[in-house]
């Protein structure tokens, strides 16, 4: 980088100085919070995988008063949550760097490593949720949402899940759908609630659902991914397809974590400096796919 001359071409060279401030990187939202957008109720301590019993169900029909009991055995099933995803990041910081910059390089590298692992963890969790093998699929895959239809489409999808016996409480939407919600006429434009929506750009809740905006709603679904919709034929994801939202009961999406480690390690032999290291080991599982619905637009 050339030194500056004041005046240009004929003057004196000026000294360079680096700012102690850092330009922040851009990150996707951290959307998965325990008790809000997923459940950690199966966090039971040390384990490589966790088995959860799911009782079987049957139907009961009325009989005449005085009738004897009719005994039955209803088989249960097992749900397996495997802690099979590990996320590692180790960022090298040379001692010469630490001694030569005005900002806290170790703290910056650690913060960045945490965010990098968080991004990978969030992406894996979202993929486990949205691309589960038998989730419900919206009845309107041939209709992209607009500002005038988005509320009605969400209500229709909510109705579909409720009719299946689910209690949806969470809606993960793409930024484009979030924008449609902010422009939707269904939001009151007068009064305190309407003023807050317009001023803050926060949807909050709609139709009894907590709305969460996530930048990877569509892009995190890889091309050629096959999603076997529980009430439809298999979906093979293509570039032109667009995922719009995932609606679900947060109690039906489980995340279990066995290791969360962050550390600054003084490197003893290979180089003079420090390693900023982060590790998470987790398992992700939709424990009941009838309680999850995806809304996408099929380009085919």
- What is the Cα–Cα distance from 59 to 37, expressed in whole angstroms? 31
Domains of the chain plus CATH, in order, are: 82-297 (3.30.2320.10)
- What is the Cα–Cα distance from 266 to 133, expressed in whole angstroms? 44
Return the closest-CA partner of residue 241 out of 109, 130, 106, 105: 130
| Residue 63 exposed, middle or buried by CB count within 10 Å (0-12, 13-18, 19+) | exposed
| Model confidence at 230: pLDDT above 60 | no
CA 153 to chain centroid, in Å, comes to 22
Peptide bond into 7 cis (omega under 30): yes
Average pLDDT, the chain: 78
The answer to whether the CB of 109 falls within 8 A of the CB of 25 is no
| Model confidence at 22: pLDDT above 60 | no
pLDDT digits (tens, 9 = 90+) for 59-97: 777 777 877 767 676 666 667 777 888 999 988 888 766
- What is the Cα–Cα distance from 193 to 209, expressed in whole angstroms? 16
Contacts of residue 238, defined as CB under 8 A and 6 or more positions apart, other chains included, come to 223, 224, 299, 300
* Residue 259 pLDDT level (bands cut at 50, 70, 90): confident
- What is the Cα–Cα distance from 300 to 143, expressed in whole angstroms? 12
- Give helix 150-163 / helix 175-183 axis angle, nearest 10°: 110
Whole-structure pTM value: 0.78
pLDDT digits (tens, 9 = 90+) for 166-202: 999 999 999 999 999 888 876 544 444 445 544 444 5
List the beta bridge partners of residue 39: 254
Q: Which residue has the higher pLDDT, 124 or 26?
A: 124
pLDDT of residue 59: 73
The answer to whether the CB of 253 falls within 8 A of the CB of 39 is yes
Contacts of residue 44, defined as CB under 8 A and 6 or more positions apart, other chains included, come to 50
């Amino acid at each position: 980088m050339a030194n500056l001359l004041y005046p240009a071409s004929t003057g004196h060279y000026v000294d360079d100085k680096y700012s102690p401030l850092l330009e922040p990187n851009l990150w996707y939202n951290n959307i998965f919070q325990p008790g809000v957008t997923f459940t950690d109720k199966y966090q039971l301590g040390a384990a490589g995988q966790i088995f959860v019993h799911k009782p079987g169900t049957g139907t009961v029909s009325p009989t005449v008063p005085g009738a004897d009991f009719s005994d039955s055995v209803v088989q249960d099933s097992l749900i397996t949550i495997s802690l099979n995803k590990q996320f590692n990041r180790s960022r090298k910081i040379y001692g010469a760097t630490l001694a030569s910059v005005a900002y806290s390089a170790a703290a910056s590298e650690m913060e960045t490593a945490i965010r990098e692992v968080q991004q990978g963890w969030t992406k894996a969790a979202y993929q486990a949720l949205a691309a589960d093998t038998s989730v419900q699929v919206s009845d309107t895959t041939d209709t992209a949402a607009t500002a005038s239809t988005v509320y009605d489409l969400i209500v229709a999808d909510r109705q579909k899940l409720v009719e299946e016996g689910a209690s949806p409480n969470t809606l993960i939407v793409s930024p484009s759908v979030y924008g449609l919600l902010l422009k939707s006429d269904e939001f009151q434009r007068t009064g305190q609630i309407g003023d807050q929506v317009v001023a803050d750009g926060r949807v909050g809740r709609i139709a009894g659902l907590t709305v969460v905006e996530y930048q990877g709603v569509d892009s995190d679904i890889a091309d050629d991914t096959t999603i076997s919709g529980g009430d439809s034929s298999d979906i093979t994801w293509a570039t032109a397809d667009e995922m719009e939202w995932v609606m679900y009961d947060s109690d039906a999406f489980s995340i279990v974590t066995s290791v969360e480690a962050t550390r600054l390690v003084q490197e003893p032999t290979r180089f003079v400096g420090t390693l900023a290291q982060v590790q998470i080991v987790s398992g992700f599982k939709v424990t009941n796919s009838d309680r999850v619905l995806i809304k996408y637009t099929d380009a085919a």
